[in-house]
Amino acid sequence: MWARAAGRLGVIVSPTFCVGSSESNEADEGARGCERREEREIEGGRCRGSRHRRTTRRSRLAIPPSRSTPRERLPCLPIRVRVLLVTSVEWVFRIWAHFDVLGLDFRLPSPPAAEPFNAEPHRSALVASYITPVDFFYKRNHGPIPKVDDLIRYSVSISGLVNKPIQISMADIWALPKYTVTATLQCAGNRRTAMSKVRKVRGVGWGISALGTATWGGAKLCDVLELVGIPKLSSVTSLGGKHVEFVSVDKCKEENGGPYTASIPLKQAADPDADVLLAYEMNGETLNRDHGYPLRVVVPGVIGARSVKWLDRINIIEEECQGFFTQKDYKMFPPSVDWDNINWSTRRPQMDFPVQSAICTLEDVDVIKEGKARIAGYALSGGGRGIERVDVSVDGGKTWVEARRYQKDNVPYVSDGPQSDKWAWVLFEATLDIPPNAEIVAKAVDSAANVQPEKVEDIWNLRGILNTSWHRIKIQNSSCVGRSKI
């Protein structure tokens, strides 16, 4: 029935976004605002091993996104039907019918998809506001999106090398002091597609939008650890614990069906100034399922892989986490290492992300009119380091102009200023005269004087992570295009 219906329709209908596969039968939150990305071997900017495009076609129907609760994220219409045609291992047809009649909720079942849902927004959405709306925040998953509904029974265990293991409920978390931290989360594979044009890499084919900035609300991890007798600023427990491991509810194939795990040093976890959160809010609203409902970890200044969603357990351990994504992924290797000679044990797990920037208002092969054009984008660095400067060039890097940097409205940005958000990106803009067939380049310098490398070839690695090379955009002048057609 599904296949016949899909063949007859041959269209995608969904609210104002590009849709893709999600593991959940109720993945209505997952598709909003973003384009799907698949995990594949990528070469020359294209996915290998898949007969489908990496992204689905754009929506043909625009319905304003809803502002409802995590349980109810459908457009606010009396009678609603959404038809999604998604790409997966095979075409899957899904229909959600949702009727609001006297408060009743009727929903047709839908067949599950075969792959994790990974999606990023269009680059222009990133610079539309300093805080990324939830609907346009990138999605990265390693398995099916878990469903945690019973908050009364939900709890997080804290055990391991501690004197008094405990189970804490959401009520216990809510009872702790609440903090809000504005922080950018960035996937380590952001800008991987550009790296794949040098040599093939393995991973999700991200463009430049696998990141987002949100205001996270929750309890500080250092306060939670005090409940098991670990004082603030501790680097080791009395029983020898030196690392804090986070165990998720979700399961993934890389762990042979086991849970996703990650860890950070205890010294970082117990430091109040590190602002590590057990977050239950995102941009002032309850977390939705895509972003870790009901509770997730947020580790500011560190690659997104360490900010574990759908938290299940916290273990205090002597050595760093031995899970797949800590020991056999997200490590930085030199260009000389390939899959035939790799030795994962020779590198430490990646934590802080390097200084990064990208242009969001233009794309390759864009055609613009003669005269001035606004060049805008984002810049950020890990470890709480601010952005000291963003340089923009319209001649491939021969000459440079310093761009204006900003975060919040009417607040001057200072890279180490007390009013600046040290864990968050900086937006930049410059209005420049664009010559014919220009190559526009952006590079950032952080407060420790770290600068982006010029060539992606120099930092190529087999997993395609941490592409922080100069971001380049090649565009055409409309007058030159007109003459070429004559």
The answer to whether residue 167 scores a pLDDT higher than 60 is yes
Q: Please provide residue 313's backbone torsions phi and psi, each rounded to the nearest 5 degrees.
A: -145, 155
Reported as a pLDDT band with limits 50, 70 and 90, residue 196 is: very high
Reported as a pLDDT band with limits 50, 70 and 90, residue 480 is: low
Reported as a pLDDT band with limits 50, 70 and 90, residue 367 is: confident
Reported as a single tens digit per residue, the pLDDT across 378-411 is 999 999 999 999 999 999 999 999 999 999 999 9
Read off the tokens for 329.
Answer: 């992924």
The answer to whether residue 79 scores a pLDDT higher than 70 is no
CA atoms within 13 A on the CB side of 253: 7
* pLDDT value, residue 222: 98
CA–CA separation, 323 and 321 (whole Å): 6
The answer to whether residue 56 scores a pLDDT higher than 50 is no
CA–CA separation, 249 and 260 (whole Å): 8
* pLDDT value, residue 38: 73
Give the least confident one: 53-62, 196-205, 421-430, 440-449: 53-62
Q: Please provide residue 64's backbone torsions phi and psi, each rounded to the nearest 5 degrees.
A: -55, 140
Residue owning tokens 């937006």: 427
Give the least confident one: 146-155, 156-165, 477-486: 477-486
Contact residues for 443 (Cβ-Cβ < 8 A; gap 6+): 357, 390, 391, 451, 452, 454, 470, 471
Give the least confident one: 41-50, 81-90, 177-186: 81-90
Written out in words, the top-level CATH class of the domain with range 118-328 is alpha beta
The answer to whether residue 451 scores a pLDDT higher than 70 is yes
Neighbour-count burial for 461-477, b at 16+ CB within 10 Å, e otherwise: bbbbbbbbbbbbbebbb
Average pLDDT over residues 71-79: 35
The answer to whether residue 173 scores a pLDDT higher than 60 is yes
Reported as a single tens digit per residue, the pLDDT across 205-229 is 999 999 999 999 999 999 999 999 9
Residue owning tokens 């038809």: 83
* pLDDT value, residue 37: 78
What does pLDDT average to over the chain? 82
CA-nearest of 118, 121, 113 to 204 is 118
Could you tell me which residue, 93 or 215, shows the higher pLDDT? 215
Distance of alpha carbon 186 from the chain centroid: 5
Average pLDDT over residues 334-345: 97
CA–CA separation, 130 and 135 (whole Å): 14
* pLDDT value, residue 365: 74
Could you tell me which residue, 295 or 102, shows the higher pLDDT? 295
* pLDDT value, residue 109: 34
The answer to whether residue 18 scores a pLDDT higher than 50 is no
State the span(s) of the chain assigned CATH 3.90.420.10: 118-328
* pLDDT value, residue 47: 52
Could you tell me which residue, 362 or 99, shows the higher pLDDT? 362
The answer to whether residue 94 scores a pLDDT higher than 80 is no
The answer to whether residue 301 scores a pLDDT higher than 70 is yes
3-class SS string, the chain: CHHHHHHHHCCCECCCCECCCCCCCCHHHCCCCCEECCEEEEECCEEECCCCCCCCCECCCCCCCCCCCCCCCCCCCCEEEEEEEECCCCCEEEEEEEEEECCEEECCCCCCCCCCCCEECCHHHHCCCCCCCHHHCCECCCCCCCCCCCCCCCEEEEEECCCCCEEEEHHHHHHCCEEEEEEEEECCCCCHHHHHCCCCEEEECCCCCCEEEEEEEEEEHHHHHHCCCCCCCCCCCCCCCCEEEEEEEEECHHHCCCEEEEEEEHHHHCCHHHCCEEEEEECCEECCHHHCCCCEEECCCECHHHCCCCEEEEEEECCCCCCHHHHCCCCCCCCCCCCCCCCHHHCCCCCECCCEEEECCCCCCCEECCCEEEEEEEEECCCCCCEEEEEEECECCCCCEECEEECCCCCCCCCCCCCCCCCCCEEEEEEEECCCCCEEEEEEEECCCCECCCCHHHHCCCCCCCCCCCEEEECEEHHHHHHHHC
Residue owning tokens 């500011």: 300
* pLDDT value, residue 318: 98
Could you tell me which residue, 51 or 417, shows the higher pLDDT? 417
Average pLDDT over residues 450-479: 94
* pLDDT value, residue 32: 58
Integer angstrom CA distances of residue 165 from 155, 157, 204, 308, 315: 13, 7, 38, 21, 9
The answer to whether residue 104 scores a pLDDT higher than 80 is no
Upstream peptide bond of 109 is cis (omega within 30 degrees of 0): no
Written out in words, the top-level CATH class of the domain with range 356-480 is mainly beta
Could you tell me which residue, 155 or 8, shows the higher pLDDT? 155
Give the least confident one: 42-51, 235-244, 247-256, 375-384: 42-51
Q: Are 263 and 144 in contact (CB under 8 A)?
A: no
- The structure's pTM equals 0.81
Read off the tokens for 111.
Answer: 């067949």
State the span(s) of the chain assigned CATH 2.60.40.650: 356-480
* pLDDT value, residue 14: 31
